[in-house]
Amino acid sequence: MAKMRVNGQALEFAMDPATPLLWALRDAANLTGTKQGCGGLGTCGACTVIVDGAAILSCTVPIGSLEGADVTTIEGLASHPVTLAVVAEEAVQCGFCIPGFVCAAAALLQQSPRPSAEQVDALLNLCACGAQPRLRRAIARAAGTMAAAA
């Protein structure tokens, strides 16, 4: 059994330790905001969550390797400045990639409060529907909000 904290709550997954975190979150914890996009290849980023402060692709990480980890999903970021900025900038088009994008952007801003354009653009491979300009504005807005609060 894998024990970890998910969105601040202690959880224990009675699943095969090789189970990808994505499926433990969706199937056992009923946290369905994290999406599968690439079939477990780790190429699309839709399944991005934050583990111990770093953005990771949950489709590629087995729960057995996360014993004691602190996991944050989109459900844990409901009032995060990135989430609020995405809404304010109307940056959602189809919405499928947004949970992964928000998690990736929140982790980026935690590590780099003033990210470069290249760092931001590296996150935008998650979106294929054309919302990139609005997503860039959302990250800039969130960075400003977080800087003002610091």
What confidence score (pLDDT) does residue 125 get?
66
Residue carrying structure tokens 């014993």: 67
User: Which regions of the chain are under pLDDT 70?
Assistant: 125-127
According to DSSP, the residues that pair with 20 across neighbouring strands are 62
What confidence score (pLDDT) does residue 94 get?
81
Q: What's the rounded Cα separation, in Å, for the pair 116 and 114?
A: 7
Structural domains for the chain = 2-75 (3.10.20.30), 77-149 (1.10.150.120)
What confidence score (pLDDT) does residue 126 get?
59
Residues 56-69: tens digit of each pLDDT:
999 999 999 999 99
What confidence score (pLDDT) does residue 11 get?
97
What confidence score (pLDDT) does residue 37 get?
87
Question: What DSSP string runs through 17-80?
Answer: TTSBHHHIIIIIS--TTS---SSSSS-S-TTEEEETTEEEETTS-BGGG-TT-EEE-GGGGTTS
